[in-house]
Structure formats: structure tokens, C-alpha cells
Structure 1
Amino acid sequence: MNWMPDRNTKKAIYKQLAEYIEVGIADGTFPHDEPLPSERFLAKVYNINRSTVVSAYDELESNGLIQRKRGSGTTINKDIWGITKKRIPSWNRYIEAGSILPNLAVTQKIRKEVTDHKLINLASGELSDDLFPQTSLRSMASNRSFIGSLGYDHPQGNVILRKTIAKHLSQERKMEGADPSSILITSGAQQALHLVIQCLLKPGDAVAIENPSYSYSLPIFKSAGIRTYYLSMDKEGINPDDLVSLYKKHKIRMIFLNPAFQNPTGTFLSPSRRKAVLDISSKYGIPIVEDDPYSLTSFRGNEVSTLKSMDTHGNVLYISSLSKIVASGLRIGWIIGPKAVIERLTDVKQQIDFGHSSFTQWIANDFLESKDFPAHIKRLNLQLKKRRDQIAKSLEFFLGNQVHFHAPEGGIHIWCKLNKEFNEMKLLEESIKRGVIFVPGTTMGSEKGYVRFTFARENEENIHEGIKRFAEALLLVQE
């Protein structure tokens, strides 16, 4: 037994041992007619805890390679070498070998908790059911005469919907000259971001993202081998000078920005900085990916310009969707860019899913064209503002000088700095025990001491109760 565990690698020792034994079973190091070494023996030989050996044997047993019987020890499963020669794949090894990395463990935990338990949900970035235009959408779904083809639609998305989106962008987001041929319909903004990263960047490329930001939490950058560099934020958004410094030092290939009511900070990139960012993009030839889920959610009722509407050189790839303003379940998003880029992204999307569902495209088109859409946006902003006001009042009432925050003028998130040190995971666990959940700040940024609350998912009463429970949990973990 010349093998020894490598204590310098990130792979767990029990997994290393399990793989060593599996290879040994295949090459005859461990004869199939003899018992495998005992747990105590292996622990002593390799100077590891017995529990580590137990975990290795548990994994081998779950994969059908070994059998454990009390009084008989651990033996190789005879069926491996018998008549049937059947084996269970080592699924854990396949899972770990995938090219797309899993979400952060805390992100997976939040998703599981909100799915499996009834909690006051201040974590999920979506609207509550009562903010969806359910009556309008259901009426359109039931009364609509489906006159389109039920086969595969145009690879870029239904042409009628793309024309409607182009009209919508011109009227609602002041984006003149949007051409349906330069629009790709995607499964929400998330798929659009994935397509951009997978199709337009290569391993080793450097990109700039906001810190904190939603993009910070996405494992897709690391999965694709992309190097991410961070742009710090203040109350007016990123500092364009930082962008120049990053470009000169790391040769930034692309900039990812959420300029309007940014997730998670709620900040709005000021007009002067928007112009500076576009000037830098033009000077150095760096494309900008503008992620714009919230520009129509201005609580002041004023029109909000997009970077794309100011882009005179075609440097901005514009991404948006109906997920945050109409219904996340429609899965209707879009990306606008140069035709050659859209054709490239379309080709890859077709490889993935052969295009988007015709039914949801028809419903989205009818709703965008109807008088119900502007009425819905007006009502949505009124309700979101009430909830924003409520969470601000509740934070001040229950936490006072323990928290610092800036109340956003749009969007659905509020970013809070807690003024005392705390254990992030303990705070999350204690909050869940009390029936409320939020997003720990380090999942969205490099600095500790922050939390993100989403106020679109709950009504005012639940928001108040949720912050009360959060304050109780915070008091406990600080003691």
C-alpha cells in the first residue's frame, strides 16, 4: 500500500481513498476473494480518522462496489465479477466532473428552504403572486386564437413578438431604431447572460463586474474559465476611472453592468457616469453587457434612460425580460445587439433548446400590445413603493442604528450594512428557525457585513414581521 492521501489538494481525503480503492479493485490490488482492509487498519496506515475511512466505504457501498456485513467485514461485491457483470456507475464522480459548476452552497440552501418550508421570503428575487397581472394573462391565454404554427418557431423568436418588443423599447425605454432582426428571444435574462459568456468569451478572458452584484453570485464565469475583476460601488454606481485602471492592468474584454436600480444595492448609475462609461467603451473598444430588469420600476414615475438608448456606436448588448415586471413563469427575455452577434447567439440557443415556446411568446406579445400593460406597470410601481417604504420603516424601527441602508428609488431590493460583527451563516440559520429568510451579502459581494432583502415577494404586514424576526435572530448571534 504505497498510496498516500494528498493533503494539499482541495479534494476530500475520503474521496481520494474511495477512488484509490475503486482503482485497486479494478486492477487486482485488492483481490476479489479476500476481505478489504478494516476501517481501523486503513486509518492507522494512512494516519487519518476512522470516520474518513467510514465515509469512503459508504461511498463505495452506495455505488455497488463493496458489501459490508457485521461479523464478516467488508468485501468486494461478487456481482462485479460474476455472470451478470453489472455495476452501478460512480455517480458522484460524474457529478463532480461536469463542466458547469454548481451554485454556491448557500444559494442552494436558500432555494431549498423557500421551496420546502413556508417562510417569510425576503430572499427570492421575484414578484409575489398578487403583483402578477393574473386576470389579464389568464384571459389572454383562454381567449387567444392560436393562429401561429405549433412547430418550431423562428430561431430568434416569434417575429411578431420581436416587432412588438422593438416597439415597446422605442416607446417605453426610449431606444430608437431597435430592429426585430437584432433581437433574440431568450428564456429570461439568465439564459441571455449564459449565451453571451459561452459564445463571446473564451477561457482566460478578463471581464469587469460590479461589486456587489448579482453577477458575483453566478458560477458561470468560473465554469467558463473567465477571470472576473470587480468595480466598487458608491451611491452613484461604479467609478469610470476604476474601469480604465482595470482595463490597463488586465485587458478587460467585456463589462457587465446593471445600471438602473442595481441588484442588490438599488443604485442608479448617474447620467455623467453613464456617459463616461460609454466614452471608455468607445475609446478602448470594450463591449458593455447591460442587464436591465428594473428600469420601468421607477417609484418617482419618471422615465429612466438605458445605456443602450445612449449608445450611438453599437457597443452595448442590451438584456432585459418580463420576469421582474410581469411574471417570472413566462420565461420571456431578450437580448439586442449587432446582427452578427445575434446570429451567433441564436445558433447556440438553437443547439440548446430549438427555440422558445410559441405559447408563452403569444401571451407575452398580446399583453405587451394591450392597454393592460401600462396600467399594470403603474399599479406595480405603486405597490412596490409601498413595500419599499414599509421595509425602510421596519428596518429603522427594529434595528435603528444597528443598520445602514439607502432606500432605492426603484427595483425590488434593499442592501443593508449591519454595523456590528456577526456570523453570517449563524444569522441565516437563526432567521430560518424564526421563519424568515434573506440573502447573505457575501453571496453577492466580496465584503462582509451586508445582507440583501427583497421586498417584492411579501406584503407590508409580512415584511414588518419578517424584519422583526430577523432583528431577533441578529440579537441572538451577536450575544
Structure 2
Amino acid sequence: MDWKPVKQQYKTYHQQIIDWFTERIACGDFLPGMKCPTQRALALQFEVNRSTINTAMEELKANGLLETRVGAGTFIAENPWPHLLVHPKWQQHINASIHKPNIETIQLINDYEQREDIIRLGTGELAPELLPTKQLEDSLKLIKLPSRAIGYSEPQGHLALRESLCNHLHKRDIDTTPDNILIVSGALQAFQLIALGLLERGSLVFQQPASYLNSIHPFQSAGMQMVDLDLQSNIVEALQRTKKNRPAIVYSIPTLDNPTGRNWSQTDKVSIYEACKKLSIPILEDDVYGELQFEESNELPIKTLDTTGHVLYTGSVSKTISPGLRIGWVVGPKTVIQRLADIKMQTDYGSSALSQAVVTHWLTSGLYDQHLKNLKVSLQQRARYMEQLLECDFKDIATWETPIGGFYIWVRFEQPVITKALFLAVLEHKILINPGYIYQPNDFHHLRLSYAYASFEQMEKGLQLLAKMIKKLLLAEIS
């Protein structure tokens, strides 16, 4: 076998290996029942990582072309022909599609979060008891819905909601107009629209080293390159050195960052804004947690500095009222908002009319402000309790910062123990964690803990077991 996969723009190594095996089986070079070389041998032959071989072999098994015999190895399936001649090659279509798949850990998190018997220690969602279910039900009785109100909304979203958002955002020192606001189905849709409508393939997306964007793929799937940006460096030099005349955008969560829970300093905000203004680089500011600071604060969005239209500002009610409403917004220059609205109309023809009416009612009636006040008290109580648990069981093996708002505590372990193996071992005990490597590749030191979802009892049970398992691993390494 002298064939080797080669670097291609549109086909990965493991997909080339799948296609090569499939062609050899189809043409009769590899006969049914023939034993395959070991993964180590194939990795050496093809000059790729064993993980690449493993991924390809697993998909070939899923396609019915290979089979494993316990204790004997991997073989060409005894009857591969139905899979080659009858069924569509769905896996091939999936692998060749535009949108990148999530890594397996995130797929497992998304699957297991739906199970009621799982303790969710890392999830970015409010617990059911923190959701204003009764108030939302009562709101539905008060909302008036003329016939036009429950049809398709204007391309930028209901005018009444955009007007109420102008008043609401003024509390964050953001002055805007309804023409500068687009209603979206959650902040994530805003990222997708921006990737599709404003950036070209090959654009650079600058981000913090540990970034929420690494756990989703709206920009990566659109052909953008993610680049880490250290705020402690000379921002202008760092951007210029990497950019090299390529189109770029900076993604930021300066208030209650996900996953770290930290706030940027005002100096950092000014530095990044001035650098981007100088280099004509737009900033995408994600402020979905901005209203959840526990104490009154002078922390303001980067958007408040914006006098030149450089900042696209996104917010949402997913972290405050309910993720199920699927209502978020983008604030930006009118021409940009119109462009994004046009693409949104081509994809979903507008966000839910009913959800828009609910959010409008909450913003204009005072319900939102009162709920937000109560929510922050509850979240702070939960944060204090989780930190007490950490002090009891983790202070000798990890460090963290006291949370100042939002949902998360970013825990750092001295040893690289937050591995895929630990994630799976903990999951066997019906405990779900968010390991650091889903936010920064190869980060096995960090763990994103959330106090927003698990009950007090679940926090105690889950963290005690997690500490026990990690300490057992550390003792095993020492011995």
C-alpha cells in the first residue's frame, strides 16, 4: 500500500482514508473477511495520528464496511455489498458538509443534559426553579395580540420590542435607535448571521485563549481562522503582526466572561477599542451575562466607548428570563443591521412573534427589572454555597477566583487531571462536567463549574465525588 492522504482544502485526512477503504472494497481489492492492519501500522503507513485512523475505522464500521471481532482485530465485513450498493452514503455526505461537528465531549454534554438523572455541574442554563414560570404564564393572560402581531414580523423584529430595548439598553449607557437593532433567535444566531453576512472565508477571528467560541463552530464552519489574543500584550502590534492585511474581527465577552467569569479592566476595554479603531477591525461584543453582576458596578460594555460604529453588540434574555424564548439582539450600524436582517429573513423569516411580545411586556412593565434583582440574589447564594464546597474539598488541589456574577467558577488544578478519561469516568456516575479542553484545546488544568443549575444537594454530592475521584488519580500518579 503506497497510497497516503494528502492535505486538501475540502477533505480531511480521515475522510480520505474512509474513501480509500471504500473504493478498495468496492473494486474487490479488499475482500470480505480480510483482516485489516492494526491502527498503529496504518498510522505509520499513512503518516497520520492514530486518532485519525481510529476515527476513520469507527466510521467505516458505522457504514457497515468493517467489523470488529473481539480478541482478533478488525476485518472487512462479510457482506459489505448492501452498504455499498443500496444505501445512500450518508456518513460521506455528513463528513463533506459545511458545518463542523462538535467534539465528542460537547456532543455528550448536549445529549446527557436532557436526562433528569444527571447532576449538571457545568451547564450554562438556569435551574427550573430560577425560571419565572408562573410570571410568564400570567404574562400570557395580559398580552394583547392583534392579528398582525402573530404573523411574520418586520425583518429587524417587532418595532415595539426594539423601542423597548432602546430604553433598556440606556441603563447600560448604550444609546441607540430601533433602526440600529436586529432581533435574533438567541445570541448564537447573531454569530451565525455575522459569519455568513459580514466575513469572508479565511477571515481571522481574534478571541481570548479560553473562549466560548471554541465550544461552538459558527465562524470555524464558515471558513474563519480562530486566533488567540493576549490582552496583556501590545494589542496593536499583536493584531498587526497576525492580521497581515487579512480581514478580521475581535470577539469579546468583557463582562463576566464565559468560561472564566472575569471582567476586563477598563484599561483593557479602551486598549482593544482604540487598537481596533486604528486598524479598522470590528469588535463583536457578547454581553449576555452583563446584567448578572452581583453588586452594583461601574463596569460598562465596550459599546459605550463606540463613536465610530466599530462595535457590534449582542445581548439576550436566555440567561435572565428563559433560553426557551429564543430572543436576543444585535446593535450596530444601520447598514450592517439591514444586511443581517436580510440574511435572517432568508433563513427563518423572523423570531417568534409570541416570544417578542412576551419580552416586550417584561421590559415595559417592570417585570424584567424585578425578576433580575431577585435572580441575582439567588445566584449569589448559590455561588457562595459552591465556593464553600470547593473550600472543603478542593483547596489543596486547585485554585479559583470568588465569582462576582454570572454562572461560573473557573477552577484551575495544579496537575493536568481534567482529561477526557476523567470526563467519561465522572459521567459513569451520572455527573456532567465542562472540562477546560472544550474552551481551549489541550487545556487539562481547568474546569468550568456552574452554580446556576444544580440544586444545593446535587452540588454537594457531585463535587464531593468529583474531588474523591481527582484525589485518587493524583495519589495513583504519586505512587
Segment drifting more, 316-325 vs 197-206: 197-206
| 2:102 alignment partner in structure 1 | 103
1:156 aligns with 2:153: no
CA RMSD of aligned residues (A): 2.8
Q: Out of 415, 439, 457, which is 1:461 matched to? A: 457
Distance 1:243 1:405, change over 3 A: farther
Counterparts of 1:109-258 in structure 2 under 5 Å? 109-116=108-115, 118-149=117-148, 150-170=150-170, 172-176=171-175, 178-232=176-230, 238-239=231-232, 241-242=234-235, 244-251=237-244, 253-258=248-253
Counterparts of 1:445-456 in structure 2 under 5 Å? 445-446=440-441, 447-456=443-452
Q: Which blocks of at least 5 consecutive residues in structure 1 are unaligned?
A: 31-35, 63-71, 81-86, 233-237
Residue type at the aligned position of 1:173: R
| 2:377 alignment partner in structure 1 | 382
Q: Deviations over 1:415-471 (max 9, x none)?
A: 011112325112112222233211110111243311111111123332222211210
Residue type at the aligned position of 1:151: G
Over the matched positions of the two proteins, sequence identity in percent amounts to 27
Shift of 1:112: 1.3
| 1:68 alignment partner in structure 2 | none
Shift of 1:89: 1.0
* 3-state SS of 2:228 partner: strand
C-alpha contact (below 8 Å) 1:122/1:453 kept by paired residues: yes
| 1:367 alignment partner in structure 2 | 362
Report how many aligned residue pairs link the two structures: 443
Residue type at the aligned position of 1:299: F
Question: How many angstroms apart in 1 are the aligned matches of 2:311 and 2:465?
Answer: 43
Residue type at the aligned position of 1:226: M
Q: Deviations over 1:265-322 (max 9, x none)?
A: 1111111221222211221111111000111111113353111122122211000100
TM-score (norm 1): 0.85
Q: Which blocks of at least 5 consecutive residues in structure 2 are unaligned?
A: 7-11, 44-53, 67-76
Question: How many angstroms apart in 1 are the aligned matches of 2:216 and 2:59?
Answer: 30
Residue type at the aligned position of 2:382: R
Shift of 1:182: 0.8
* 3-state SS of 2:288 partner: coil
Question: How many angstroms apart in 1 are the aligned matches of 2:114 and 2:226?
Answer: 31
C-alpha contact (below 8 Å) 1:18/1:57 kept by paired residues: no
C-alpha contact (below 8 Å) 1:291/1:318 kept by paired residues: yes
| 1:15 alignment partner in structure 2 | 18
Question: How many angstroms apart in 2 are the aligned matches of 1:53 and 1:458?
Answer: 38
Question: How many angstroms apart in 2 are the aligned matches of 1:216 and 1:17?
Answer: 31
C-alpha contact (below 8 Å) 1:401/1:419 kept by paired residues: no
* 3-state SS of 1:220 partner: coil
C-alpha contact (below 8 Å) 1:261/1:410 kept by paired residues: yes
Question: How many angstroms apart in 2 are the aligned matches of 1:402 and 1:143?
Answer: 53
Shift of 1:239: 2.7
C-alpha contact (below 8 Å) 1:39/1:54 kept by paired residues: no
TM-score (norm 2): 0.85
C-alpha contact (below 8 Å) 2:119/2:430 kept by paired residues: yes
**Which of the pair has more CA radius of gyration?**
1
1:401 aligns with 2:396: yes
C-alpha contact (below 8 Å) 1:173/1:304 kept by paired residues: no
C-alpha contact (below 8 Å) 2:121/2:454 kept by paired residues: yes
Shift of 1:143: 3.5
* 3-state SS of 1:229 partner: strand
Distance 1:53 1:125, change over 3 A: closer
C-alpha contact (below 8 Å) 1:14/1:56 kept by paired residues: no
